[in-house]
């Protein structure tokens, strides 16, 4: 019996050093001690091994640094570990960066996913019941008007290069099921918040700027609406979809928690006032020129996953947000680590320019 045989399943998680990936690994490593999890991550600016410090010594965890688009590396991992399934979270994820340049988004989100599909398809020929789970976003559906929600039947209509790259990858996932019978499942989730999110995304960005008395840049009139889900709820949904989702299906994941950006930022300011004992954070809010192609509203109808798989969000938004702000305040070194280096240059060239424009 090889060392690998002692594991009930061997799962490849890609992008496990990022925000959702590291939260997912924390959850899965505890819940499934008899599974082996191999985390393949390129460690881009958004990947951070310190997110996994408290689980990295676990016996059922292995880290491999590399690119999902690297055919030789991914093939070798499949040969060595004989995976039973894969959960693909690796991606370039920041919309603003995709507007500045979309090359990396195409390489990772489309070509990388295609590479994983190709290797999974060949691996599948060894007769294993291999599952491919694509983790995707509500942004592939484009923008909603004042009413209605996206369902699994909504048409894809991506508006940013990020959304277009994720949409393209999702189409390849679907095609590999239809054309080759690959056992795929896709989940499309709304905006996540929680610990370990890279501070270019709205919630940690605002917390960090507020902490340093820097302007809080709000795009346009601040009326853009997002449906916010606590990351631990998303991780539970991924677990359920991966294990129980029907082959070839897609599942929407949402929170029923629609909030305008400006209201979200005001809430963060109030929580910061409370937690730091320093008032007046709202005065730092600064409206800046809108993001090009900025989707107005997202909202997810998640009745399919609720009715078929029994999942529903568990976290209350106000409490989850407070817990999240507290986490960033408790982890200043983590934050400092993220915002030094490459991010500093990005922040200076992008956000500072935006602040000056208005």
Ligand X SMILES: NC(=O)c1ccc[n+]([C@@H]2O[C@H](COP(=O)([O-])OP(=O)(O)OC[C@H]3O[C@@H](n4cnc5c(N)ncnc54)[C@H](O)[C@@H]3O)[C@@H](O)[C@H]2O)c1
Catalytic annotation present for 67: no
Residue of 198, 191, 197, 189 whose CA lies nearest to 239: 189
Residue 206 is a binding residue for ligand X (CB under 6 A): no
Catalytic residue among 138, 200, 227, 258: 138
Tokens of 173: 């996932």
Binding of ligand X by 334 (CB under 6 A): no
196 is catalytic: no
Q: Is residue 114 within the footprint of ligand X (CB under 6 A)?
A: no
Is residue 139 within 8 A of residue 91, CB to CB? The reply is no
Between CA 329 and CA 332 the distance in angstroms is 6
Q: Whole-number minimum distance, CB 122 to ligand X, in Å? A: 19
Tokens of 198: 């890279």
Query: Which residue sits closest to ligand X, CB atoms considered?
Result: 18
Alpha-carbon distance of 232 to 314, in angstroms, equals 9
Identify which of 114, 110, 188 has the alpha carbon closest to the alpha carbon of residue 154: 188
Site membership for ligand X, residue 339 (CB under 6 A): no
Are 229 and 300 a contacting pair, CB within 8 Å? no
Give the H or E element holding residue 189.
strand 183-189
Helix (H) or strand (E) holding 286, with range, is strand 285-288
Q: d(Cα 77, Cα 12) in Å, to the nearest integer?
A: 9
Question: Could you confirm whether 45 is annotated as catalytic?
Answer: no
Total residue count of the chain as it appears in this document: 358
Q: ∠209-213-216 over CA atoms, to 5°?
A: 45
Residue from 131, 166, 257, 281 binding ligand X (CB under 6 A):
166
Residue given tokens 């490849």 in the structure block:
12
Minimum distance, C-beta of residue 280 to ligand X, in the bound complex (Å) = 29
Tokens of 213: 């008395």
Q: Does 68 contact ligand X by CB under 6 A?
A: yes
* Options 61, 67, 162, 219, the catalytic residue: 162
* Residue 209 engages ligand X in binding (rule: CB under 6 A): no
Does 39 contact ligand X by CB under 6 A? no
Say whether residue 42 binds ligand X (CB under 6 A).
Answer: yes
Site string for ligand X, 126-165 (x = CB under 6 A): ---------xxx----------------------------
Site membership for ligand X, residue 259 (CB under 6 A):
no
Residue 192 interacts with ligand X (CB under 6 A): yes or no: yes
Give the whole-angstrom CA distance, residue 286 versus residue 266.
Answer: 12
Total binding residues toward ligand X, as defined by CB under 6 A = 32
* Out of 4, 43, 80, 157, the residue judged to bind ligand X by CB under 6 A: 43
What are the residues binding ligand X (CB under 6 A)? 14-15, 17-21, 40-44, 46-47, 67-69, 89-93, 108, 112, 135-137, 166, 189, 191-192, 198
Catalytic site residues?
138-139, 162
């Amino acid at each position: 019996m090889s060392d690998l045989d002692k594991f009930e399943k061997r799962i490849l998680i890609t992008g496990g050093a990022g925000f959702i990936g590291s939260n997912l690994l924390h959850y899965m490593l505890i819940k499934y001690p008899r599974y082996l999890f191999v985390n393949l991550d390129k460690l881009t600016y958004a990947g951070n091994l310190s997110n996994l410090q408290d689980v990295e010594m676990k016996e059922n965890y292995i880290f491999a640094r590399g690119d999902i688009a690297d055919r030789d590396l991914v093939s070798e991992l499949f040969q060595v570990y004989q995976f039973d399934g894969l959960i693909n979270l690796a991606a370039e994820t920041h919309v603003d960066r995709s507007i500045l340049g979309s090359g990396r988004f195409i390489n990772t989100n489309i070509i990388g996913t295609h590479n994983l599909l190709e290797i999974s398809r060949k691996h599948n020929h060894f007769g294993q019941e291999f599952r491919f789970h694509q983790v995707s976003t509500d942004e592939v559906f484009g923008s909603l008007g004042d009413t209605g929600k996206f369902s699994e039947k909504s048409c894809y209509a991506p508006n940013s290069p990020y959304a277009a790259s994720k949409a393209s990858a999702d189409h390849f996932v679907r095609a590999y099921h239809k054309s080759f019978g690959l056992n795929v499942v896709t989940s499309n989730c709304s905006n996540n918040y929680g610990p370990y999110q890279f501070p270019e995304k709205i919630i940690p960005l605002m917390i960090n700027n507020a902490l340093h008395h820097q302007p809080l840049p709000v795009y346009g009139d601040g009326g853009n609406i997002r449906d916010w889900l606590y990351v631990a709820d998303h991780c539970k949904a991924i677990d359920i979809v991966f294990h129980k989702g029907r082959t070839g299906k897609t599942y929407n994941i949402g929170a029923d928690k629609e909030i305008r950006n400006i209201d979200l930022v005001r809430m963060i300011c109030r929580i910061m006032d409370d937690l730091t004992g320093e008032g007046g954070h709202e005065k730092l809010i600064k409206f800046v020129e809108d993001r090009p192609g900025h989707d107005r509203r997202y909202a997810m109808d998640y009745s399919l996953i609720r009715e078929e798989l029994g999942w529903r969000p568990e976290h209350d938004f106000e409490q989850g947000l407070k817990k999240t702000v507290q986490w960033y305040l408790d982890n200043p070194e983590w934050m400092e680590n993220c915002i030094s280096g490459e991010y500093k240059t990005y922040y200076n060239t992008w956000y500072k320019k935006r602040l000056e424009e208005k």
